[in-house]
């Protein structure tokens, strides 16, 4: 599945909706449009949805 992964350099930046960017958080393409995520702050990656997990409402990639 294709995700946008927030770059480490944009950790704790404010989003337009009042929330913040979290380093290494994953957003689907549809989520990025819904939440107004700036694509310049992210890298596109391809990860299986089975290799992701949620922590405090944020999605991250499992690293083994």
**pLDDT tens-digit map of 9-27:** 999 999 988 899 999 999 9
Residues of the chain with pLDDT under 50: none
Q: What is the pTM of this model?
A: 0.90
Q: What Å distances lie between residue 7 and 10, 11, 64, CA to CA? A: 6, 7, 20
The answer to whether the CB of 20 falls within 8 A of the CB of 38 is no
The answer to whether the CB of 25 falls within 8 A of the CB of 58 is yes
Q: Around Cβ 55, how many Cβ atoms within 10 Å?
A: 9
pLDDT in the model for residue 16: 85
pLDDT in the model for residue 40: 94
């Amino acid at each position: 599945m294709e995700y946008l992964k927030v770059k480490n350099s944009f950790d704790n930046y404010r989003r337009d909706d009042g929330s913040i960017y979290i380093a290494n958080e994953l957003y689907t393409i549809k989520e990025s449009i819904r939440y107004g995520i700036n694509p310049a702050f992210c890298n596109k990656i391809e990860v299986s949805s089975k290799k992701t997990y949620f922590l405090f409402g944020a999605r991250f990639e499992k690293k083994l």
